[in-house]
Every structure is written in structure tokens, then in C-alpha cells.
Amino acid sequence: MKQPSTPDLSTRLIHHEYTPPQGFHAPQPAVHKASTVIFPNVAAMRAREWKDKSSYTYGLHGTPTTYQLEERLATLEGGLQCLLVPSGLAAISTVSLALLRQGDEVLIPDNAYGPNKALAEVELRHYGIRHRIYDPLDPADLASKITDATRLVWLEAPGSVTLEFPDLVEQVRICRARGVATVLDNTWGAGLAFAPFDLLGHGAGAEGALGVDVSVHALTKYPSGGGDVLMGSITTRDEGLHLRIKLTHMRLGLGVGANDVEAVLRALPSMALRYHAHDAAARDLAQWMGLQPAVAQVLHPALPGSPGHAQWKALCGAANGGQGAAAGLFSVVIDARHSQAQVDAFCDGLRLFKLGYSWGGPMSLVVPYDLPSMRTGATAHLRPGTVVRFSVGLEAVDDLRADLAQAMHQAFGTA
């Protein structure tokens, strides 16, 4: 550096001469925070390459911290490329905006995550992209709704709120045969209940392997695990597809905060332990809820009798040492003889289950839903009544069971 005299203190504090020694290694990756990334010279600046992880160009395009999380998430889901976005919903909207254009059609399951449908009903419609809703439990209905204009099929296994488990293998086969791209919202399976890019267990990328084209994941849920981070990921195994999505991602200007990335990097090593603990507690409570007189139906794909149980068993039954794997979520249909006011009183009466959206954190949550306003298709597989969804946290199961019992007794005069 050419500096005639000693620079001012303020300058020296910005351009400080000290560089720490290389070779610092610790269990937790470093938090690199940057909008600006500094290039050594003009030639390097001109040769900048943001399309892959070979270098750094600008904070929006990645830092060592975001690259590390992306690579770990690709491993989790069995993908080869991964992109971080500011929320699970941003992962959904980015994929739809990247892969759909005017005149295209997108298919969405009737039990999809609600905001995915809302995006299609408003923004996509404004852009001249049509959507059709298909029956997630009837592959023939999906097949019949694919037209020459269909470019993308959204999949969810199981569906949000009502948790019907579809025949994912058959759905993907149908879309493959028709040359239509598939995107799975893999938040529930989280990379732990089944392998989205290797549904038949042949090994992802192997001869005869079957998988979705894109997997989106609300990292807000289990990967974060704290109820304190909003983030999403978009994982692929096809470089060209990844690049199409990455270009849109760049043009939309989507970035994630380094401290949030660090929180997910910190939570990721315990994710499988947490996932299976949430699962065990949720199955225990779901089974017990099924015995209660106020409950007309329990919706949990791992429980026999739940819609899509056989499909769950086929896809997720071998996970977790043969016990099968499921997220810590279940819903119940409160019998139609109980009024909405009673259902509300039950939810209000819970002390440990808090009223709140999202899931995947240590605190148990409950949400009552108005199903008729959420569905367009048939719901004959659901008993009449009011749907209440529980997200089971990491509290002691006996305490949660006692909480459910006291609130039911108070609201319904039973249990």
C-alpha cells in the first residue's frame, strides 16, 4: 500500500494491518457476514463467477457460511445443488416463478400448504399462469389433469393440516411419463422420513432411480428447530434446473442473514435426534387422542386407518431402524356434535400447547382449522367435525397428555 504518512486513526481502524493466523478450526463453522466481497484486483473482479461455489462475488450470491449450509442441506435431502431463501414460502414462490411462464399450467394438491394455493390464485393468475387443483389421494385424477400446458406439479407428502399421505411413487411416475417437472414440499419428511430423490431406494442417480426434480424445505421447521428462524431451501440434482432457479433467485434479490444461517448450522447436527423424539411423542399422543370420546378421527399417516397409511408405510416404514419415521404433527377431527365454541374453548384451555403457527420447535403448538374454506375437492375420507392440528414439541409426553385431558374435560365434559 502506498501511504506517504501514517493514516488517520479512523482510517487505520477500517484498514487495519492485523490479519489473524490461518488454520483456525472449531466445531461450529464461522459466521461470515458480507454485502460487499473484496476482490484482489480488477482482473479478478471482471472474472467473477457467481453461478457456482468456485468463488465469491457479492453477499447475495453466497459466503462461506451460506455455502456450507447449502452443501449440508443437499446431503440431507440427497440432492446435488441447494439454494437458500428467506422462508419456506419463498422457496415455493421462487420455484414457481422460475419454472412457470405465461400460458403454463401448474397442478397443486388440494391439501397443499395454503399459501402455495394463494400464490397460484393471485400472483400466478396475474402473470397468465393457470393452476388446477388435484386430488392427492387419487393418482388417476392427477393424470387426468395433466395437459400439454402443464409444466409443473406440486407434491406434498403428507398434505398440510389433514396429513393424507399420497402415493408419491405413482405420482412421480405419472409426471415423469408425461415429461412434467415435479416439486415436492419436503418440509414434513425433512430428508429423514424418506429420500425425495431416491423414492425406490436404488441410490439417488442410480440406474432405475426415481425421484422428484426439486425439493423445497421450510428450514423454519426442524432444521432450525428453535421457532426463531425463517428460512427455506431449494434442492435439485440437475445442474441445468438448478441454474434456472438460481438465475431467478439472483434476479429476485433473495438473501438470508448470516446469523440465521449460523443458527441452522448449529441445529442441524441434532436434527435427526429431535425429529425422531418429536415423532415418538406425537404418535403416542395421537394414538391416545384416538381413544377419546370427543375425537371422531385422528389424522396421522403412521397410524393404521389414517388416510394414506399404506402409502406412508411403503415409503417411510423402513426408516429409523424399521420403526418408520414421521414428523411430530397430527390432527384430530373433533366430533360434529361439539360446537365451534367448544372446540375454541378446548384450544384456549390448553396450557402447554400454545396457539401459534409453524412447527418443528421445542414448544408444542395447536391450531384449529376451518377445513371447508381450505378445500375445493371431495373430503369424504374425513369425518364430519372440526379439524385441530397439533405440533408436538419436546416437553414430557405425560405432561402433554395431561394437558390435553384437562382441556378436553373442561371443553367437552369428557376424558
Ligand X SMILES: *Cc1c(COP(=O)(O)O)cnc(C)c1O
CA–CA gap between residue 386 and residue 158 (Å, rounded): 19
CA–CA gap between residue 277 and residue 41 (Å, rounded): 52
CA–CA gap between residue 119 and residue 201 (Å, rounded): 33
230 is a site residue for ligand X (CB under 6 A): yes
In order of 63, 109, 201, 281, the CA distances from 29 in angstroms are: 12, 39, 32, 32
CB of 22 to ligand X, least distance (A): 36
Spell out, one character per residue from 57 to 96, where the chain touches ligand X: x when CB under 6 A holds, - when not: ------------------------------xxx-------
Residues between 145 and 164 that touch ligand X (CB under 6 A): 160
Q: Is 65 or 220 the residue whose CB approaches ligand X more closely?
A: 220
CB of 218 to ligand X, least distance (A): 3
Q: Is 220 or 306 the residue whose CB approaches ligand X more closely?
A: 220
Residues between 374 and 403 that touch ligand X (CB under 6 A): none
Number of residues that bind ligand X (CB under 6 A): 13
Q: Exactly one of 55, 287, 320, 358 binds ligand X (CB under 6 A); which one?
A: 358
Residues between 255 and 294 that touch ligand X (CB under 6 A): none
Edge to edge, what strands does the sheet with 385-391 contain?
295-299, 329-335, 385-391, 365-369, 354-355
Nearest-CB residue for ligand X: 88
Q: Is 70 or 335 the residue whose CB approaches ligand X more closely?
A: 70
Q: Exactly one of 220, 235, 297, 386 binds ligand X (CB under 6 A); which one?
A: 220
DSSP 56-120: --BGGG--HHHHHHHHHHHHHHT-SEEEEESSHHHHHHHHHHHH--TT-EEEEETTS-HHHHHHI
Q: Exactly one of 66, 111, 187, 233 binds ligand X (CB under 6 A); which one?
A: 187
CB of 106 to ligand X, least distance (A): 16
Find the helix or strand (DSSP H, E) in which 116 lies. helix 114-119
Of the candidates 142, 139, 151, 218, the one whose C-alpha atom is nearest the C-alpha of residue 182 is 151
Interface contacts to ligand X, rule CB under 6 A: 87-89, 113, 160, 185, 187, 218, 220-221, 230, 232, 358
